[in-house]
Structure 1
Amino acid sequence: MKTYLAISLLAVAASFATTPACAQQLVPAGSEIAFTSKQMGVPVDGKFRKFDAKVAFDPKKPETANIAFSVDLASVSLGVAETEAEIAKPDWFDTKKFPQAQFQSSSVKASGGGKYEVTGRLTIKGTAQNLVVPVTLTQSGGNTTAAGSFVLKRLAFRIGDGDWKDTSMVADDVQVRFKLALTGVNAL
């Protein structure tokens, strides 16, 4: 059930795909990928502890952005060791066969006021889906924060196979939230 939440988090990672011309560095200490799923109507929160991004983004030329994002699916944290062990199994993330979720951007479009729409392909558990993620960039000092949220459909990625396909037990929608800190982004 909580495994399904973890997939949401992966989706958040995918939504971070906003980058073009200059290479930036992810600041893990200031970054987070979190998700909320519902199990029998009760919200369940989780996050991923390990993820990485290769980002090239110039705010003046967002159409040239390129981002590749990966999330270590075994790094899911739900606060319950038993649930985290369950999520690694084949019905959920199948982390032995599919250790990472990956996102590759295909386009970035400016919406004005530091807002962007990042389009790309998210692959989880061997299934790829196109995704459009709204991202807001803010800057303070030498850091840029990319933040946003979106809804991920877990069943589209085969997260929660078998008995877990019943959406009355675990909802199909997973709310993914992300905040990614970057260095090296030019002024907006």
Structure 2
Amino acid sequence: MRFAALAGAMLLVAGAVQAQLDAGQSTLVAISRQMNVPVEGSFTKFDAHIDFDPAKPAAGTARLTVDTASYDLGDPTYNESVRGPEWFDAKAYPQATFVSTAIASTGPNQYSVSGNLTIKGHTQSVAVPVVLTQQGATQTFDGTLPIHRLAFGIGTGEWKDTSTVADEVLIKLHIVIVRH
């Protein structure tokens, strides 16, 4: 009898539900425009910690951590360039983060996730419109966030010229979380 009570208490302390990013199914893409031509790159290393119950959106939290050196444009020379000081400066700023401050429902399965986005040491308050798809223990969050790269110090020197590379960048996220 004491063992059963102790085991039950341990479950309560440990928490019955763990959530984990499905990295194989999740994607994080940034789309910029160079000479008015869309250029798409993917971050290949990132992590997400999301605690979200659609019945209580205001109680939810989200944290996304991105390895800035993992940005892949599909070409080793370009990849090395965007990791350098004029762009992401991945040695000095190895991570970009998004930390939610509020989540609000905006419609059926639609939410606005407000928070602080930090890239290259610059922090901006942003709101990401997100659509939630839930199937069993899997939650999928899809959203697109337009940002201005110059506000984050991305593209310095000659790359500040927005006639070559546009200031607006679209960040598209597809985050899959599995609850165990």
Sort the TM-score into its range (normalised by shorter chain).
0.7 to 0.9
Residues 143-182 of structure 1 deviation map (CA, whole Å, 9 limit, x = unaligned): 1110011211100100001110000000001111111111
User: Quick one: percent identity of the two aligned structures?
Assistant: 43
Aligned partner of residue 104 in structure 1, secondary structure: strand
Residues 24-47 of structure 1 deviation map (CA, whole Å, 9 limit, x = unaligned): 211111100112111111111111
For the residues of structure 1 that align with 2:111 and 2:174, how far apart are their CA atoms? 14
1:38 and 2:30 aligned: no
For the residues of structure 1 that align with 2:31 and 2:61, how far apart are their CA atoms? 28
Which residue matches 2:128? Answer: 133
For the residues of structure 2 that align with 1:126 and 1:136, how far apart are their CA atoms? 29
Give the alignment's TM-score, normalised by structure 2.
Answer: 0.87
Alignment of 1:176-187 (within 5 A): 176-184=171-179
1:86 and 2:109 aligned: no
Letter of the 2:116 counterpart: R
| Corresponding residue to 1:108 among 97, 100, 103 | 103
| Corresponding residue to 1:60 among 49, 55, 60 | 55
Shift of the alpha carbon at 1:112?
2.1
Q: How many residues align?
A: 164
Shift of the alpha carbon at 1:23?
5.1
Give the alignment's TM-score, normalised by structure 1.
Answer: 0.84
Letter of the 1:42 counterpart: V
* Larger Cα-atom Rg: 2
Structure 1: which 5+ residue stretches go unaligned?
1-21
Aligned partner of residue 24 in structure 2, secondary structure: helix
Contact 1:23 1:55 in 2 (8 A): no
For the residues of structure 1 that align with 2:132 and 2:107, how far apart are their CA atoms? 11
For the residues of structure 1 that align with 2:56 and 2:106, how far apart are their CA atoms? 13
Which residue matches 2:148? Answer: 153
Structure 2: which 5+ residue stretches go unaligned?
1-16
> 1 or 2 for the larger relative contact order (CA 8 Å, sep ≥6)?
1
Which residue matches 2:112? Answer: 117
1:73 and 2:68 aligned: yes
For the residues of structure 1 that align with 2:171 and 2:97, how far apart are their CA atoms? 15
Aligned partner of residue 160 in structure 1, secondary structure: coil
For the residues of structure 1 that align with 2:157 and 2:165, how far apart are their CA atoms? 12
